[in-house]
Amino acid sequence: MTLRDVAELLKAEVIFGKQHLDEEFELAGASDLMSDVLALSRPGILLLTGLANTQSVRTAEIVEAKAIVYVRGRRPSQEGLELAEKNKMPILSTKFLMYKACGLLYGRGVRGMGDR
């Protein structure tokens, strides 16, 4: 699945990284607890979170995520957006709740970060 597919499926706004929409990924992870993301993720995930501050962007960078999707209509802070731009981290925002966003992705065959 590509980030473009995600944007369409989740009716998400691409806040940053339109040039990366054709990148593919296979795994997704969803959490507002960045400690869980650090403990359970693998490189190349799509991170879904409602935590819209610099911590989510820094965590995504550390785990080598492909992109961040903010749920519940959340948007990164200005500092978070600047950090994402610096690190070339695509940022999307969907109005869906995390549960629905994850369900839609799962229904399209995207595996979870905890699936080993």
The model's pTM: 0.94
Query: Is position 46 within any domain?
Result: yes
Q: Is residue 34 part of a domain?
A: yes
Is 94 contained in some domain? yes
Considering the domain boundaries, does residue 116 fall inside one? no
Query: Do the domain assignments include residue 26?
Result: yes
H or E element at residue 16:
strand 13-16
pLDDT of 113 reads 72
What pLDDT is stored for residue 114 in this prediction? 63
- Which residue segment(s) compose the domain that 84 sits in? 3-111
- Phi, psi angle pair for 67, to nearest 5°: -170, 165
Specify the pLDDT at position 45: 94
pLDDT of 24 above 60 = yes
Residue 90 domain-assigned? yes
Residue 2 to residues 18, 24, 32, 57, Cα–Cα distance (Å): 12, 4, 23, 20
Tell me whether residue 7 is in a domain: yes
- Residue indicated by tokens 């691409």: 14
Total tally of structural domains belonging to the chain:
1
Residue 9 lies in a domain: yes
Per-residue pLDDT tens digits for 55-113: 999 999 999 999 999 999 999 999 999 999 999 999 999 999 999 999 999 999 999 87
Section 31-35 average pLDDT: 95
Per-residue model confidence (pLDDT) at position 115: 66
Could you tell me the CATH number of the domain that includes residue 49?
3.40.1390.20
